[in-house]
Amino acid sequence: MTTRRFALLKAHREAQKFAKRRAGTAWQDNDLIFCHEVGSPWRPDHIYRRFRAIAAAAGLPVIKLHEGRQSVASLQHDAEVDPRAEAEPPAAARIGATAETEP
């Protein structure tokens, strides 16, 4: 995982903690990364409608979401991106990272 992507997800997690406190007892803990303001999951048809609208606004063809994931994997492979670099969080985020780098 890139450092930028990790930072974005970390910021999103902090915002979600705030949303959880604000929702109080209405919060539905479904262990989701992206969810409604009260923790409930987004409906798949809502996600796909939003994706289509964003693609259309950007002038891009609408594809299935899974095809997008496959496209990214193909582009990374063609660019010789090390899959481990995307899979692991930055060193500073891992427990023991300081011990790995400090003498």
Whether the CB-CB separation of 5 and 85 falls below 8 Å is answered with no
Structural domain range at position 102: 43-103
Residues 37 and 47 in one domain: no
- If you count DSSP H runs as helices and E runs as strands, how many of each does the chain have, helices first? 5, 0
pLDDT at 15: 93
Residues 53 and 84 in one domain: yes
Rounded distance between C-alpha atoms, residue 25 and residue 51, angstroms: 31
From first to last of its 103 residues, the chain has per-residue pLDDT tens of 678 888 999 999 999 999 999 999 999 999 898 898 999 999 989 988 999 999 999 998 888 877 877 787 788 888 888 767 666 555 555 544 444 444 4
pLDDT at 72: 78
pLDDT at 91: 54
Rounded distance between C-alpha atoms, residue 89 and residue 5, angstroms: 9
pLDDT at 70: 79
Number of domains present in the structure of the chain: 2
Whether the CB-CB separation of 33 and 9 falls below 8 Å is answered with yes
